[in-house]
């Protein structure tokens, strides 16, 4: 159940502040409005003395129990002086999980202060990520959102970028790097359209109010996160030569890159967000914003048109569903990689992976990763009927296929890549951000958004402040077989208005009718393998969420033929992998960031962001808010 507003008058006034409110004819909005009115009624009730006493005793017991749980854990500082439990957040009502503290805070404010839904909070948080971590995501990009509503319904919103109308299969044959940087690399952005479709289905806070805190960040400034400065340092070769008219917001008045902790301002983007806040998606896809984006893209040699912008639509699709580990699992359909996550979970369910300290168990995990990476080579946009692969995608998600794969996994050896039958090569990506939200009414959102490589196409439109994606690089290019002589995927060739293959896998699990785990990540092909590994750690090893996220990871994507392990992996496990024929490479981090929110069977919510790899932050409702609600809702 959602938090009540301060009073009924305030709730009514909020709904009247703008014309951009969720349509009253929407079944979802009618349901949520009814809930809101019921909760608002509690504010007019005066609790009895017995109610207050009973509530205080309940809270005292909960506090005592929480104390017991905390002291029973290993809370000792690590070698670097940090305490891992500083990065575990526990709550009862809801949580917002993202890469940036201020963005998680904005999401929580939408839930708590605006009586918003998980979709409202996810949108506001994602807009913030685009402001602060513009190298990874933003309204010039696209992505996928998986939603599970409190009534049990679910939806997947596909707002992946599309190829412009003038794009064609052979457009990068002369120069493959043109798919990465410059105007030709830009696909039609989808984020605003996707957010609007999700908001129409499940939003409650007026559209304009989701933008307001982010407009303030642009205008009043925000502190540069350490990881943003780290990324900028890695991109300095081109940034120092880039047009300061486009990228000037990254530099101070002396022309030097802003230090971590310094204030960054994005006034041009703030003006654009204000236009979209007032005018909805039409203000982005038509008129001056669209015209300015097209001018910038074409100035850099691209083919995007105002017609491409105006014609873009986000797709509302059914979620992919499976049953494993005693839970229903919901994820996104192609061109998202949810199908191969399902493939991997089906395979793992029938294997003994219970011993976290066993080399053979790690070997089985890696072998499963190799199979799901092979499955990923066959995914493309199902809208391209000329090369439809629907039957094969359905097959690799089946229990029968999983049983066949298990018969082809040896406990004593690994095999060359041919054994796993990949069909084509797959593409790699880099700059992505993931957000998880769970609200008090039982709605969950897993949202992954991206501009592809760091800073996308390396184009920032100076008039609008929008960083544009390079999503055309996620398509396959004919005649560019990889080092293993695998041909590019026919399912992923460029076609006008087609959406490229995505490595993302936003996922929600449901246990006993309630969302249980909300999870996703960033890091290209490592996303799906690491989300898969988190399922193993939770459901096979019995790890809590904190240990699931912070413990060392392994990764194999079939090609190159290397088992990557993070520093901290046990020496005997590494040796066991090598004894089975794996080439093992140890890295401080394997390039994937995972965040999750986990609702335990007793209702307690744990949220963990990947502080250890990207400095992510989770925030939740404070206990005082719970006490306020409990007193008003009792009797």
DSSP string, 441-463: TS-EEEEEEEEESTTTTSEE-TT
Q: What percent of the chain has pLDDT over 90?
A: 74
pLDDT at residue number 620? 53
CA distance 293 to 397: 40
pLDDT of residue 634: 24
- Residue keyed to tokens 């790690």: 362
Range picked from 65-79, 280-294, 470-484 for highest mean pLDDT: 280-294
Determine which one of 331, 432, 548, 620 is catalytic.
Answer: 432
- Section 522-542 average pLDDT: 93
- Report the C-alpha gap between 438 and 240 in whole angstroms: 41
450 is in an annotated binding site: yes
Q: What is the DSSP letter of 469?
A: P
Residue 503 is assigned to a ligand binding site: yes
Write out the H or E segment, with its range, that includes residue 279. helix 267-279
Least confident of 88-92, 161-165, 549-553: 88-92
Ranges 57-66, 237-246, 428-437, 478-487: which has the least confidence: 57-66
Range in 28-37, 48-57, 74-83, 342-351 with the lowest mean pLDDT: 28-37
pLDDT for 249 = 97
Cα distances (angstroms) measured from residue 412 to each of 157, 408, 576, 578 = 42, 12, 10, 11
DSSP 25-77: T-HHHHHHHHHHHHHHHHTTPPPPHHHHHHHHHHHHHHHHHHHHHHHTS----
> Does the pLDDT of residue 626 top 50, yes or no?
no
CA distance 184 to 279: 29
Task: Supply the pLDDT for residue 13.
Answer: 23
pLDDT at 616 (0 to 100): 57
Mean per-residue pLDDT, 603-618: 81
Within 10 angstroms of residue 69's Cβ, the number of other Cβ atoms is: 11
- Residue 91 pLDDT > 60, yes or no? yes
Task: Check whether 120 has a pLDDT greater than 70.
Answer: yes
Lookup result for tokens 């190799």: 370
Report the interhelical angle of 27-42 vs 191-202 (nearest 10°): 60
Compute the mean pLDDT over every residue in the chain, rounded to the nearest whole number. Answer: 85
Closest CA to 620 of 530, 544, 518, 549: 518
Q: Tell me which of 400 and 632 has the higher pLDDT.
A: 400
210 pLDDT higher than 60: yes
Number of H helices, E strands in the chain: 23, 21
Q: Please give the residue that has the higher pLDDT: either 73 or 112.
A: 112
Q: What is the pLDDT of residue 487?
A: 77
Between 27-42 and 8-15, two packed helices, what is the crossing angle to 10 degrees? Answer: 150
Q: In the predicted model, what is the mean pLDDT of residues 217-236?
A: 95
| 430-457 pLDDT tens trace | 568 999 999 999 999 999 999 999 999 9
Which of these, 390, 464, 391, lies nearest to 140 by C-alpha position? Answer: 464
**567 flagged as catalytic:** no
- Give the pLDDT mean for 594-615: 90
Return the structure tokens found at 275: 């236009």
Kindly indicate the confidence band of residue 27, based on its pLDDT and cuts at 50, 70 and 90.
very low
Section 58-77 average pLDDT: 30
b/e map 473-508, b = 16+ CB within 10 Å: bbbbbeeeeeeeebebbbbbbbbebbbbbbbbbbbb
The model carries a pTM of 0.85
Quote the pLDDT of residue 630: 25
What pLDDT does residue 430 have? 59
The pLDDT score that the predictor gives to residue 587 is: 93
Would you say residue 75 has pLDDT above 90?
Answer: no
Residue 598 to residue 620: CA distance in whole angstroms: 12
Residue 398 assigned as binding residue: no
**pLDDT at 79 exceeding the cut of 50:** no
Tokens of 547: 């240990």
Is 524 annotated as belonging to a binding site? yes
Query: What is the mean predicted confidence (pLDDT) over 544-556?
Result: 95
User: Given a cut of 90, is residue 396 above it in pLDDT?
Assistant: yes
Cα dihedral 331→152→544→376 (10° resolution): -10
420 pLDDT band, cuts 50/70/90, is very high
pLDDT at 39: 27
């Amino acid at each position: 159940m959602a938090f009540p507003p301060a009073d009924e008058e305030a709730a009514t006034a909020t709904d009247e502040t703008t014309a951009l409110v969720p349509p009253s004819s929407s079944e979802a909005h009618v349901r949520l409005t009814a809930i809101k009115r019921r909760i608002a009624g509690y504010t007019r009730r005066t609790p009895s003395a017995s109610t207050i006493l009973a509530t205080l005793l309940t809270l005292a017991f909960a506090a005592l129990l929480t104390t017991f749980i905390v002291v029973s854990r290993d809370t000792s500082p690590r070698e670097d002086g940090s305490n891992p439990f500083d990065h575990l957040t526990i709550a009862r009502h809801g949580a917002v999980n993202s890469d940036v503290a201020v963005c998680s805070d904005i999401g929580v404010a939408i839930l708590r202060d605006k009586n918003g839904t998980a979709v409202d909070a996810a949108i506001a948080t994602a807009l913030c990520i685009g402001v602060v971590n513009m190298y990874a995501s933003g309204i010039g990009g696209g992505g996928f959102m998986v939603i599970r509503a409190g009534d049990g319904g679910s939806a997947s919103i596909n707002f992946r970028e599309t190829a412009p109308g003038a794009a064609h299969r052979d457009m990068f044959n002369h120069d493959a790097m043109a798919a990465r940087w410059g105007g030709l690399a830009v696909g039609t952005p989808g984020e605003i359209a996707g957010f609007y479709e999700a908001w129409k289905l499940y939003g409650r806070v007026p559209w304009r109010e989701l933008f307001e805190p982010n407009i303030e960040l642009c205008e009043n400034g925000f502190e540069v996160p350490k990881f943003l400065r780290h990324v900028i340092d890695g991109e300095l070769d081109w940034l120092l030569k880039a047009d300061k008219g486009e990228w000037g917001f990254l530099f101070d008045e002396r022309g030097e890159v802003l230090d971590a902790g310094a204030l960054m301002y994005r006034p041009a983007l703030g003006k654009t967000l204000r236009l979209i806040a007032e005018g909805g998606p039409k203000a982005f896809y038509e008129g001056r914003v669209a015209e300015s984006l097209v001018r910038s893209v074409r100035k850099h040699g691209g083919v995007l048109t105002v017609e491409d912008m105006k014609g873009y639509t986000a797709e509302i699709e059914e979620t992919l569903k499976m049953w494993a580990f005693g839970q229903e699992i919901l994820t996104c359909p192609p061109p998202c990689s949810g199908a191969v996550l399902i493939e991997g979970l089906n395979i793992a369910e029938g294997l003994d992976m219970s011993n976290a300290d066993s080399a053979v168990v790690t070997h089985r995990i890696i072998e499963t990763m190799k199979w799901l990476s092979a499955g990923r080579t066959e995914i493309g946009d199902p809208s391209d009927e000329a090369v439809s692969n629907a039957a094969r995608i359905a097959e690799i998600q089946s229990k029968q296929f999983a049983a066949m794969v298990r018969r082809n996994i040896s406990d004593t050896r690994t095999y060359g890549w041919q054994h796993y039958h990949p069909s084509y090569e797959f593409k790699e990506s880099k700059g992505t951000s993931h957000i998880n939200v769970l609200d008090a009414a039982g709605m969950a959102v897993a949202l992954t958004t991206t501009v592809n490589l760091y800073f996308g196409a390396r184009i920032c439109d100076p008039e609008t402040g929008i960083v544009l994606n390079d999503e055309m690089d996620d398509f396959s290019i004919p005649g560019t077989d990889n080092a293993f002589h695998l041909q590019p995927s026919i399912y992923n060739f460029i076609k006008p208005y087609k959406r490229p293959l995505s490595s993302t896998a936003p996922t929600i699990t449901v246990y006993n009718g309630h969302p249980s785990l909300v999870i996703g990540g960033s890091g290209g092909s490592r996303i799906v393998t690491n989300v898969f590994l988190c399922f193993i750690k939770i459901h096979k090893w019995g790890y809590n969420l904190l240990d699931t996220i912070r413990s060392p990871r392994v990764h194999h994507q079939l090609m190159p033929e290397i088992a990557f392990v993070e520093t901290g992996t046990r020496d005997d496990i590494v040796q066991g992998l090598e004894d089975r024929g794996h080439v093992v490479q140890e890295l401080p981090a394997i390039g994937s960031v995972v965040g999750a929110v986990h609702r335990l069977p007793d209702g307690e919510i744990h949220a963990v962001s990947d502080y250890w790899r990207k400095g992510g932050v989770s925030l939740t409702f404070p206990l005082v808010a719970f006490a306020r609600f409990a007193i008003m809702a009792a009797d």
